[in-house]
């Protein structure tokens, strides 16, 4: 396959992430370092810290259950989003290291069949995660603002969410506009943070699973080309062992990057979904709000599902890898080849999966458990009603 036909590499796949990290101040601008520091401090104090703080402090002044639940539908997800965002920020050096390893694996693809699989399977799977969150983030931003405007013209003007302000936002038009603009900009920042935090793990898991599949194809084909000597076959196997170790390093590094964020997301997901469902059942009385919260609930589910799905996909591909090693023509090879193959098989026998917080094994089972937990929260609320 010619260079022009090559599918996008790692840099192109994660272009959106680096663009968002740049605008959020996580990537230093080399030409204006002092201005960048001032911009980063102002943006993150105002929105990454100030936005969740003004929502959480708002709980202290709320008097009705409706306002409390309405506040919780956004304050808890925003607090979780902020923790995930800062977790990615502190691991940005590991993100760069992981991308270097993905580039190494990308450079190993050299057969037309491998390029076809990479272009038609790996890339579409990774982009599905990103495009899904494009839809969620844009849809949430549009429906939230439209709902607020429609409710304002039809009933009464109110803020997007009850929260704390050092002034009365309803006392003057200027105060209301200021509070509203702060909330809508804060929501945009939070959606951008969620976009990169929630898609990064799923996309990386897709790449890991895909490269494991390609490695299995490579190993399984060794020894069947009669034009190659046993020494050449052994060198191919050694290259595959090196790729195998790179996959292990990618697995460990990705776990370090997304582990804490996944732990926070999983432990809070049931509560968030349960609170949203309770608010919709008891307090949403018009179609506009229902559409918004339906999309919001879908977003809560999708924050967990892609990573769990592709973590399961990753486990399956690594389990297949052990069997693919025995598919090569190892019987006609020399003793050194067989020794290397035994070492490689021994390494692959250890089950590879993601466990976060020393408690959760990330796969589809934990996703279904999270959904059951949301139903349990709803059941308790209905019993206490």
What pLDDT, on a 0 to 100 scale, did the predictor assign at position 385?
61
pLDDT tens figures, 130-162:
999 999 999 988 988 888 888 888 778 888 888
What pLDDT, on a 0 to 100 scale, did the predictor assign at position 61?
84
- Average pLDDT of the chain to the nearest whole number: 88
What pLDDT, on a 0 to 100 scale, did the predictor assign at position 3?
44
More confident: 193 or 351? 193
What pLDDT, on a 0 to 100 scale, did the predictor assign at position 322?
82
- pLDDT exceeds cutoff 90 at 66: no
User: What's the rounded Cα separation, in Å, for the pair 219 and 211?
Assistant: 12
User: What's the rounded Cα separation, in Å, for the pair 156 and 335?
Assistant: 81
User: What's the rounded Cα separation, in Å, for the pair 51 and 19?
Assistant: 22
pLDDT tens figures, 222-239:
989 888 899 999 999 999
- pLDDT exceeds cutoff 80 at 206: yes
Neighbouring CB atoms inside 10 A of 54's CB total 21
- pLDDT exceeds cutoff 80 at 29: no
Can you give the pTM of this predicted structure?
0.90
What pLDDT, on a 0 to 100 scale, did the predictor assign at position 6?
66
What pLDDT, on a 0 to 100 scale, did the predictor assign at position 333?
87
- 267-296: average pLDDT: 87
- pLDDT exceeds cutoff 90 at 28: no
Q: Which of 13-27, 128-142, 212-226, 369-383 has the lowest mean pLDDT?
A: 369-383
- pLDDT exceeds cutoff 80 at 1: no
Residue 46's contacts (CB-CB under 8 Å, 6 or more residues apart) are none
- 80-89: average pLDDT: 93
- pLDDT exceeds cutoff 60 at 357: yes
What pLDDT, on a 0 to 100 scale, did the predictor assign at position 286?
79
What pLDDT, on a 0 to 100 scale, did the predictor assign at position 100?
95
- pLDDT exceeds cutoff 90 at 41: yes
What pLDDT, on a 0 to 100 scale, did the predictor assign at position 122?
92
What pLDDT, on a 0 to 100 scale, did the predictor assign at position 2?
45
- pLDDT exceeds cutoff 90 at 347: no
More confident: 288 or 199? 199
Estimate the crossing angle of helix 335-348 against helix 230-283, to 10 degrees: 10
């Amino acid at each position: 396959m010619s260079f022009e036909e090559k599918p996008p590499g790692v840099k192109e796949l994660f272009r959106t992430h680096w663009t968002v990290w740049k605008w959020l101040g996580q990537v230093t601008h080399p030409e204006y370092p002092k201005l960048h520091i001032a911009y980063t401090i102002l943006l993150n104090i105002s929105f990454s810290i100030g936005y969740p703080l003004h929502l959480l402090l708002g709980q202290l002044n709320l008097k009705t259950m409706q306002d409390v639940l309405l506040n919780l539908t956004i304050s808890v997800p925003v607090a979780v989003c902020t923790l995930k965002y800062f977790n990615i920020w502190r691991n940005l050096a590991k993100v760069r290291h992981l991308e270097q390893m993905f580039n190494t694996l990308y450079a190993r693809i050299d057969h037309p069949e491998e390029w076809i699989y990479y272009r038609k399977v790996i890339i579409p799977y990774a982009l599905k995660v990103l495009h899904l969150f494009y839809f969620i983030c844009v849809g949430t931003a549009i429906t939230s603002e439209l709902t607020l405007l429609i409710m304002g013209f039809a009933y009464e003007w109110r803020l997007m969410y009850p929260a704390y302000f050092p002034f009365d936002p309803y006392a003057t038009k200027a105060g209301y506009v200021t509070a509203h603009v702060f909330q809508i900009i804060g929501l945009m920042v939070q959606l951008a943070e969620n976009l990169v935090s929630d898609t990064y793990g799923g996309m990386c898991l897709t790449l890991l699973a895909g490269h494991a599949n390609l490695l299995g194809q490579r190993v399984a084909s060794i020894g069947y080309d009669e034009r190659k000597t046993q020494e050449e076959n052994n060198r191919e196997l050694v290259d595959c062992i090196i790729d195998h170790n790179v996959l292990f390093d990618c697995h460990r590094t990705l776990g370090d990057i997304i582990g804490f964020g996944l732990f926070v997301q999983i432990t809070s997901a049931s509560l968030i979904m349960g609170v949203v469902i309770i608010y919709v059942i008891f307090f949403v009385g018009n179609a506009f709000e229902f559409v918004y919260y339906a999309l919001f609930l879908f977003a809560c589910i999708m924050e967990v599902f892609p990573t769990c799905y592709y973590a399961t996909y990753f486990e399956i591909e690594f389990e297949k890898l052990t069997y693919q090693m025995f598919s090569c023509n190892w019987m006609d090879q020399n003793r050194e080849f067989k020794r290397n193959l035994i070492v490689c098989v021994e390494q692959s026998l250890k089950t590879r999966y993601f466990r976060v917080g020393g408690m959760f094994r990330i796969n589809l089972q934990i996703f279904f458990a999270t959904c059951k937990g949301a139903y349990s929260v709803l059941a308790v609320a209905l019993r206490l009603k």
